[in-house]
Amino acid sequence: MVDETDAASKPGQAGPRPGADTVDPLDEYRSRRDFALTAEPAGAKPPSGRERRIFCVQKHDASRLHYDFRLELEGVLKSWAIPKGPSLDPHEERLAVRVEDHPLEYASFEGTIPKGEYGGGTVMLWDTGWWEPDDAWVPAGHRPPRPGSPGAAEPALDPVAALDKGELKFVLHGSKLSGSWALVQMKNRGQENWLLLKHADSSARPGSDMEREAPDSASTWRSLEQIAATETASEP
Ligand code: MN
């Protein structure tokens, strides 16, 4: 901590300018260190497009039950709180409230946050897997326009730009959730309000109710009650 405080107070040692939009998340970490002199790691290369990005959905029995939807991007988990949870029904659009980025390690967290702490309550790892951008998605029965023809799709957005623009299409490869989805920002409803929706592809299940059909952990198969009981029992 002393090192960070020290570095932050030195003029001319600042990291990349704030607000720069093509910053490697580790640029600031690296700019403060000389790796010829320190044994600290320089950090892995940022994930290339070929590597798998993780996603998870945590069922969170806080003051109000909700689901936390998290996608790995830029070395963190971009996160949304979804009061009603994801739905495989393409007619269901679920409110998804953008919340703060979480560390990647959070994607394996299942347990209980003590009462009185931020987010106090039981957290279940409801679904987990990997995801990839899906700029190519088109509704069934619609052919993608030929490249170069009028109406042809714009060049594929990288997912960071897509998120900034407020519409990210992606394919999930999870235990419970799969196929093509989109997160769409409702710009007339404030910065934080998005919709999570399922595209009508072969993995869509109209009329399905995930909360009733698949309530338990994708990691340990436990129910919320079992997780809460285990965590309480193991307290010293
Ligand atoms: Mn939560």
Say what the pLDDT of residue 182 is: 96
Nearby residues for ligand 1 (ion, Cβ within 5 Å) = 60, 68
Could you tell me if residue 129 is left (phi over 0), alpha (psi between -120 and 50 degrees) or otherwise beta?
left
Residues 6+ apart with CB under 8 A from 12: none
> Cα of 131 to ligand 1 centre, how many Å?
20
CA of 154 to the centre of ligand 1 (A): 35
Gap from CA of 125 to ligand 1 centroid (Å):
11
Degrees to nearest 5, angle at CA 89 with 160 and 57: 50
Within a 10 A sphere around the Cβ of 226, how many other Cβ atoms? 15
Distance from Cα 145 to the centre of ligand 1, integer Å: 40
Count of Cβ atoms closer than 10 Å to residue 151 Cβ: 7
Cβ–Cβ < 8 Å for 199, 90: yes
CA 32 to ligand 1 center in whole angstroms: 33
Model pLDDT for residues 89-131, shown as the tens digit of each residue? 999 999 999 988 888 888 888 988 888 887 888 999 999 999 9
What pLDDT, on the 0 to 100 scale, is given for residue 150? Answer: 55
Q: Ligand 1 centre from 81 Cα, in Å?
A: 6
**pLDDT given for residue 46 in this prediction:** 47
Question: What spacing in Å lies between the alpha carbon of 66 and ligand 1's midpoint?
Answer: 6
pLDDT tens-place values along the chain, 236 residues long:
333 333 333 343 444 444 445 555 546 545 764 646 545 545 555 455 547 899 999 999 999 999 999 999 988 889 999 999 999 999 999 999 998 888 888 888 898 888 888 788 899 999 999 999 997 766 655 655 555 555 555 556 789 999 999 999 999 999 999 999 999 999 887 889 999 999 999 999 999 999 899 999 999 999 999 999 986 655 44
Residues near 170 by Cβ (< 8 Å), separated by ≥ 6? 71, 131, 132, 133, 134, 159, 180, 181, 182, 183
pLDDT at residue 195, as a whole number: 97
Distance CA 191, CA 183 (A): 13
Q: How far is the CA of 129 from the centre of ligand 1 (A)?
A: 19
